[in-house]
C-alpha cells in the first residue's frame, strides 16, 4: 500500500474526494479542512493500493493540483486494516507488477544528479577496485562493486530513452561520464604517487590471472550486463532494493575503472583498452536491457495487468 497526501485548494476539495471515492484500490480517506498553510487549502489523506496508484495520480493531476496544490506519495511498511486488504483486492493486477511511473521518475532523476556524495562513493569504490586488482583480492573487488553508485544514472538513461526525456538522458549521461572521469583521474594520481614510492611495480599486473577477466570483455560480459540491467530495473520498479546488491556484484563497471587507472599508471596500454571496453560494454548492456524491461513492463501492464479487476 501507498500513503497519499493531497493539498487541494478549497474549491477543489470535493472533486478530489470524489476522484478518490470512485477509484478502485483507495481506502482510509481523511479530509482535514483548512489544514494547509503553504499552499493554502484542505489536506486529503488516503491509502492507495500500489497497482491503482498510476490512475489515481493521473486523475489528481488532471485537477491541476501539481500547479497550485500538492500530491505526495510514500510507502507504507505496515498496514493492519480490513479496508486496506479489500482495496488491494479491488485494484487491478498485482502490486509487485505495477510500476508507479511518477515515483520511478522522481527516484532516477534524483540518482542521476552529480553530487559530492556520488563522486565520493564512486571514487572510493574505484580506488578499492584498483587495490583489489593489484593485490589481487576478489573480496575487495566485490566490495567495490557494491559501493559503486552508478546504477541510478544508468536507470535514468533507460527511463529517458523510454519516454524520450532528452534532458534526463543528458543529465544522467553527464553524471556517468564526469563521475567515472573524476574517479579514474583521482585513482590514477594515487597510483602514480604509489609507483613513485615503490609501492606499485609493473610486475603486479603480470601475475594477477584472478582478475584478468576485467580486461577481457566477451560474449558473457554482454549477457551478464543485459541480465543485470533487467534485474536492476525490476528491483527498483518493484521496490525490492535488496536485489540491487546482486546487480552491483554482477557487473564490472567499477572494477574496469579501477583497472584502467592502474594500467595507465603502469603504461599497460593494451589493458587500458580492454578495461575501457569492459566499462562501455557493461554500461551499454545495462541501458539497453533496462529500456527494454521498462517497455515490456508498461506494455504488459496496459494489456493485461491494468485490465484485470
CATH of the domain at 23: 3.30.70.120
pLDDT at site 303: 66
165, 146 in Cβ contact below 8 A?
no
Check whether residue 43 and residue 183 sit in a common domain. no
Range of weakest confidence among 51-60, 185-194, 265-274, 298-307: 298-307
Instruction: Decide if 74 contacts 287 (C-beta within 8 A).
Output: no
More confident residue, 25 or 99: 25
Considering only residues 208 and 117, tell me which one the structure prediction assigns the higher pLDDT: 117
**Which pLDDT score, from 0 to 100, does residue 290 have?**
94
- Asked, for residue 88, whether it belongs to a domain, the answer is no
Mean pLDDT over residues 3-22, rounded?
A: 94
- Percent of the chain surpassing pLDDT 70: 93
Residue 98 belongs to some domain of the structure = no
Domain C-terminal end among 50, 66, 81: 81
Query: Residues 66, 150: one domain?
Result: no
Question: Residue 79: which region, alpha, beta or left (left: phi > 0; alpha: psi -120 to 50)?
Answer: beta
Say if residue 227 is in the same domain as residue 155: yes
Rounded-to-integer distance, Cα 214 and Cα 216, Å? 6
Structural domain boundaries, residue 25: 2-81
Average pLDDT over residues 228-242: 81
> pLDDT-based confidence at 161, cuts 50/70/90?
very high
Q: Distances from the Cα of 98 to the Cαs of 86, 176, 239, 304, in angstroms?
A: 18, 28, 10, 11
C-alpha cell at 123: 571514487
Mean pLDDT for all residues in the chain: 88
> pLDDT value at position 18?
94
Phi, psi of 264 (to 5 degrees): -65, -40
**29 phi, psi to nearest 5 deg:** -80, 130
Same domain, 214 and 72: no
Cis peptide before 136 (omega within 30 of 0): yes
* Residues 50 and 158 grouped into a single domain: no
CA atoms within 13 A on the CB side of 68: 10
Same domain, 125 and 209: yes
Is 49 in the same domain as 125? no
**Nearest partner of 256 among 155, 153, 150, 116, judged by Cα:** 150
DSSP H/E element including 40? strand 40-48
Alpha helix locations (H) across the chain?
13-22, 53-62, 65-68, 82-90, 101-111, 116-134, 138-147, 151-163, 166-196, 203-206, 219-237, 243-250, 253-265, 269-300
Mean pLDDT across 151-167: 93
User: Whole-prediction pTM value?
Assistant: 0.83
Confidence of residue 71 (pLDDT cuts 50, 70, 90): very high
- How many domains does the structure of the chain reveal? 2
Does 90 have pLDDT greater than 90? no
Q: Of 81, 116, 145, which marks where a domain is finished?
A: 81
Query: Looking at the structure, do residues 219 and 72 belong to the same domain, yes or no?
Result: no
Q: Which three cell numbers stand for residue 107?
A: 527516484
Pick the closest to residue 149 from 244, 242, 75 (CA basis).
244
Kindly report the backbone phi and psi dihedral angles of residue 128, in degrees, each rounded to the nearest multiple of 5, phi listed first.
-60, -40
One domain, residues 172 and 64:
no
Nearest CA-CA partner of 97 in 164, 151, 51, 130: 51
| Residues 211/152, Cβ–Cβ less than 8 Å | no
**Mean pLDDT of all residues in 62-89:** 88
Q: Based on the fold, state whether residues 159 and 21 are members of the same structural domain.
A: no
**Tell me: the pLDDT tens digits for 238-287?**
766 666 666 767 788 999 999 999 999 998 888 999 999 999 999 999 99
Cβ pair 145, 254 in contact under 8 A: yes
Question: Taking 60 as the threshold, does the pLDDT of residue 309 lie above it?
Answer: no
* Residue 96: predicted pLDDT: 65
Q: List phi, psi (to 5°) of 254.
A: -65, -45
Quote the CA–CA distance of 7 and 71 in Å, as a whole number. Answer: 7
Amino acid at each position: 500500500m501507498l500513503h497519499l497526501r493531497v493539498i487541494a485548494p478549497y474549491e477543489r476539495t470535493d472533486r478530489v474526494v470524489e476522484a478518490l471515492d470512485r477509484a478502485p484500490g483507495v481506502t482510509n480517506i481523511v479530509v482535514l479542512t483548512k489544514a494547509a498553510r503553504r499552499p493554502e487549502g484542505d489536506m486529503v489523506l488516503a491509502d492507495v493500493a500500489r497497482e491503482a496508484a498510476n490512475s489515481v495520480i493521473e486523475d489528481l493531476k488532471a485537477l491541476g493540483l501539481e500547479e497550485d496544490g500538492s500530491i505526495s506519495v510514500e510507502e507504507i511498511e505496515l498496514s493492519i486494516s480490513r479496508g486496506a486488504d479489500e482495496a488491494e483486492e479491488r485494484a487491478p493486477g498485482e502490486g509487485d507488477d505495477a510500476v508507479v511511473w511518477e515515483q520511478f521518475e522522481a527516484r532516477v532523476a534524483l540518482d542521476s544528479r552529480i553530487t559530492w556524495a556520488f563522486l565520493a562513493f564512486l571514487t572510493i569504490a574505484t580506488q578499492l577496485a584498483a587495490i583489489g586488482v593489484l593485490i589481487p583480492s576478489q573480496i575487495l573487488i566485490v566490495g567495490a562493486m557494491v559501493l559503486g553508485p552508478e546504477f541510478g544514472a544508468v536507470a535514468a538513461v533507460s527511463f529517458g530513452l523510454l519516454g524520450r526525456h532528452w534532458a534526463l538522458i543528458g543529465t544522467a549521461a553527464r553524471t556517468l561520464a564526469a563521475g567515472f572521469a573524476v574517479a579514474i583521474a583521482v585513482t590514477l594520481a594515487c597510483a602514480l604517487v604509489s609507483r613513485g614510492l615503490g609501492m606499485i611495480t609493473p610486475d603486479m599486473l603480470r601475475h594477477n590471472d584472478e582478475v584478468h577477466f576485467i580486461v577481457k570483455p566477451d560474449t558473457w560480459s554482454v549477457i551478464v550486463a543485459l541480465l543485470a540491467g533487467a534485474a536492476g530495473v525490476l528491483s527498483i520498479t518493484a521496490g525490492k532494493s535488496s536485489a540491487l546488491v546482486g546487480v552491483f556484484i554482477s557487473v564490472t563497471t567499477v572494477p574496469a575503472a579501477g583497472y584502467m587507472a592502474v594500467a595507465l599508471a603502469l603504461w599497460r596500454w593494451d589493458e587500458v583498452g580492454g578495461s575501457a571496453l569492459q566499462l562501455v560494454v557493461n554500461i551499454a548492456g545495462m541501458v539497453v536491457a533496462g529500456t527494454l524491461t521498462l517497455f515490456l513492463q508498461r506494455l504488459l501492464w496496459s494489456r493485461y495487468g491494468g485490465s484485470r479487476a
